[in-house]
Chain A
Amino acid sequence: MPPLLKMPPQLIRLVLLAIGIVCVYLTARYFLTPPSFGQYGHFRGNALQEIAARQPYYAGKAACVECHSDHAQKLAKGEHKTLSCETCHGPGRTHVENTAEKLPKLNVGLCVRCHQASPSRPKWLHQINVHNHYTGSVCTECHVPHQPNEVPP
């Protein structure tokens, strides 16, 4: 008789129980570990693709320039050169996919959003006090948004 079987029966039962638990654990792990686990690290690799599957809402400046290169060239010359098209015009993927769907017209509040004077704003930014800067209604009467140095005809 092998010496292992000479162990008291209660010990043998314990050993068998331990082996059983390990087997159940290994089987459960085999079935429950996601197939792409460990592909890129200690996480489910497919999660990356699932997160990346979302559709962008903002199209990006490159997509705008494809058709509107004239506006982009004008913009690049003036002080608004750091702006992206969608900064002012808003998210444009629907327009890129279907050009018949126009982007909404911009209102005067948009200029003030950045250019209203505030002690918190950095000194390099052109700031105005809306209440005494101009009594008219529209900024574009005097300023060209794509070329702020220019005066409209």
Chain B
Amino acid sequence: MSENITRRNALKNLAGMVGGLLAMPGGRACKAAVQNGLASSHAPAGYDPFQHKWLMALDVDRCIGCGLCVEACCAENAVPEGHWRTWIERYVITKPKAGSGETRGETMVDSPDAGKEGFPPLLVPREDILKSFFVPKLCNLCEKSPCTQVCPVGATFEAPDGAVLVDKNYCIGCGFCVQACPYGCRFFNPETHTADKCSLCYHRITRGLKPACVEACPSEARIFGDLKNPVPDDPLQRFIASNKVEELKKFLGTGPRVLYAGLDEEVR
């Protein structure tokens, strides 16, 4: 090889090395320019998602079906007309027909406008009702969420603090997640043309506020708390300790972080 060291070759090698050294910062600058064009970044809010683990508990016996939570959610998050991030279902279970040999009759569920304006009077006469109650629903904040598993672009994810969120800048609006959610908690937002869902009021909980639905609930039917930072005499821990809490559709193994107390067997 020694006979190959000519002036020409030495200069060529030197130029290559200098070019390579120049290309490295150039490449970094190009990368930064491309990425800044793709996504605008915001200053960090001083909130560490690893230091929190949020959980929501719902007390069916406390829900009075006023719909103030739905109204607050829509106002807080500017949810487009006709779509809901949370809603209230009214269950009516009738008495069994005489001689039918059943323990209960028909089950009817309604949720007019998600219960935002309250509920109209029942059409079933009072003496025919075996049981009637309200069930508030929202995103179940699954730990193994089917909706994030089907996203082809990784635009929806489970944050380390338990919130399941949608990255609107990367969502392509294919709607796979809307179909994948077994609880029907997602919808297609016609204004942003992306998937939309309960964000657990992420802009509120990162500021130390409660989600809007919890704030607006008059009867403490919605209990919200942080498992990693319990407050003295924590309402959430007290609630979980003193009630038999259940998950919706437990057989699916989605691991919801939304727990219910006082659920009837008919609720799904």
A interface residues with partner B (beta carbon < 8 Å)? 30-36, 40-44, 46-58, 60-61, 80, 82-84, 86-88, 91, 113-114, 116, 118-122, 125
| With A49-B43, A113-B118 as contacts: A58 and B62 at CB distance below 8 Å | no
| With A44-B170, A56-B209, A60-B210 as contacts: A118 and B160 at CB distance below 8 Å | no
Tell me which of B34, B90, B154 contacts A120 (CB under 8 A).
B90
Q: Which residues of B contact A33 (CB under 8 A)?
A: 35
CA distance A53 to B75 in the complex (A): 16
A-B pairs with lowest CB-CB distance, top 6: A43-B157, A54-B203, A47-B167, A120-B132, A52-B206, A49-B42
Q: Are A82 and B209 in contact (CB under 8 A)?
A: no
Give the total of B residues in contact with A, Cβ under 8 Å.
67
Q: Which residues of A contact B61 (CB under 8 A)?
A: 122
Q: Are A56 and B133 in contact (CB under 8 A)?
A: no
Q: Are A58 and B216 in contact (CB under 8 A)?
A: yes
Q: Are B118 and A40 in contact (CB under 8 A)?
A: no
Task: Please choose the segment from B1-9, B217-225, B241-249 that sits at the chain A interface, where 4 or more of its residues have CB less than 8 A away.
Answer: B217-225
| With A35-B35, A44-B39 as contacts: A118 and B119 at CB distance below 8 Å | yes
Q: Are A52 and B65 in contact (CB under 8 A)?
A: no
For the A-B complex with A51-B167, A55-B203, A113-B68 known, give 17 more contacts whose Cβ atoms are closer than 8 Å: A31-B34, A36-B41, A46-B39, A47-B167, A48-B165, A49-B41, A49-B44, A49-B45, A56-B204, A60-B215, A87-B216, A116-B118, A119-B122, A119-B129, A120-B92, A120-B119, A121-B134
CA distance A116 to B120 in the complex (A): 11
- Does residue B212 face the partner (Cβ distance < 8 Å to A)? yes
Between-chain CB contacts (< 8 Å), 25 pairs: A30-B27, A40-B49, A40-B159, A40-B160, A43-B157, A44-B167, A46-B39, A47-B170, A49-B41, A49-B44, A50-B169, A52-B202, A52-B206, A53-B42, A54-B77, A54-B202, A56-B76, A56-B204, A56-B209, A57-B75, A80-B218, A87-B215, A91-B75, A113-B68, A122-B133
- Does residue B50 face the partner (Cβ distance < 8 Å to A)? yes
Q: Which residues of A contact B91 (CB under 8 A)?
A: 120
- Does residue B98 face the partner (Cβ distance < 8 Å to A)? no
Q: Are A51 and B157 in contact (CB under 8 A)?
A: no
- Does residue B113 face the partner (Cβ distance < 8 Å to A)? no
B interface residues with partner A (beta carbon < 8 Å)? 27, 30-32, 34-35, 38-45, 47, 49-50, 61-68, 72, 75-77, 90-92, 118-119, 121-122, 126, 129, 132-134, 154, 157-160, 165, 167-170, 199, 201-204, 206-207, 209-210, 212, 215-220
Q: Which residues of A contact B67 (CB under 8 A)?
A: 113
| With A47-B169, A118-B122 as contacts: A61 and B49 at CB distance below 8 Å | no
Q: Are B217 and A119 in contact (CB under 8 A)?
A: no
Q: Which residues of A contact B77 (CB under 8 A)?
A: 54
Q: Which residues of B contact A57 (CB under 8 A)?
A: 75-76, 212
Q: In whole Å, how far is A45's beta carbon from the nearest beta carbon of chain B?
A: 9
Q: In whole Å, how far is A129's beta carbon from the nearest beta carbon of chain B?
A: 11
Q: Are B158 and A41 in contact (CB under 8 A)?
A: yes
Q: Are A34 and B38 in contact (CB under 8 A)?
A: yes
Q: Which residues of A contact B219 (CB under 8 A)?
A: 82, 114, 125
The residue of chain A having its C-beta at the shortest distance from the C-beta of B41 within the complex is A46
Q: Are B215 and A125 in contact (CB under 8 A)?
A: no
Tell me which of B47, B65, B169, B203 contacts A118 (CB under 8 A).
B65
Q: Which residues of A contact B62 (CB under 8 A)?
A: 122
Q: Are A51 and B203 in contact (CB under 8 A)?
A: yes
Q: Are B215 and A41 in contact (CB under 8 A)?
A: no
The residue of chain B having its C-beta at the shortest distance from the C-beta of A125 within the complex is B64
CA distance A113 to B217 in the complex (A): 13
Q: Which residues of A contact B216 (CB under 8 A)?
A: 58, 84, 86-87
The residue of chain B having its C-beta at the shortest distance from the C-beta of A120 within the complex is B132
